[in-house]
Chains A and B, each alone.
Chain A
Amino acid sequence: MSNIDRRSLVKGSFAAIVAGAMVSRTALADASEPILLGVSGPLTGPNAQYGAQWKQGFDLALDEIHAAGGINGRKLAYNFEDSQSDPRQSVAIAQKFVSDPRIVMELGDFSSPASMAASPIYQRAGLVQFGFTNSHPDFTKGGDFMWSTSVSQADEQPLLALYAVRHLGLKKLAVLHQNTDWGRTSRDYFVNAAKGYGADVVITEGYIADDRDFRSTLVRVRDANPDGLILISYYSDGALIARQARQVGLKQTICAASSVYSPKFLELGGEAVEDVHLGTRYFPQDPRPEVRKFIDGFKAKYGGQEPDAFNAYAYDAMNMAAAVLRIGGTDRRAIRDAFAKVHDVPMVIFGSATFDVESRRIKGAMNAELVIRKGQFTLWDGKPT
Chain B
Amino acid sequence: MSAATPDALDRFGESLAERASPIVVKEVRQGLRTRAFWIFFTLMLIACLVIALVAFAASAGNDAGAGAFGAIFTVLAVVQFFVIPYSAYRSMAREQEDETWVLLTLTGLGPRRVIRGKIGSFVLQGVLYASAAAPFLLFSYYLNGIDLPTIVVGLIFAAAYQVFLVSVAVSFATLAHSKMMRGLLQFAVLALLLGATGMGKGVGAWLMELFRLGTFDDELIFGCCAAVFAMLSTAVLLFEAAASGLSLTTESYARGPRLAYLAQLFGGTVFFIVGWKVMTSTGFLVGGAVIAAVYSTLVGTYVISDRDGLAANLRAERSSVFSPGAYRGYLLVAISALFVGAVFLALATTDSDMRHRDLRMIAAAPGFALLYLSLPQLLARWLPHAASQTPAMVRVVSLGLLVLGVGLPPLVGILVAEPDDKMLNLLNPLVGLINISKSGPSSDEALAVVWAAALISGLAAYVSLKRRDR
A and B held together in a complex: no
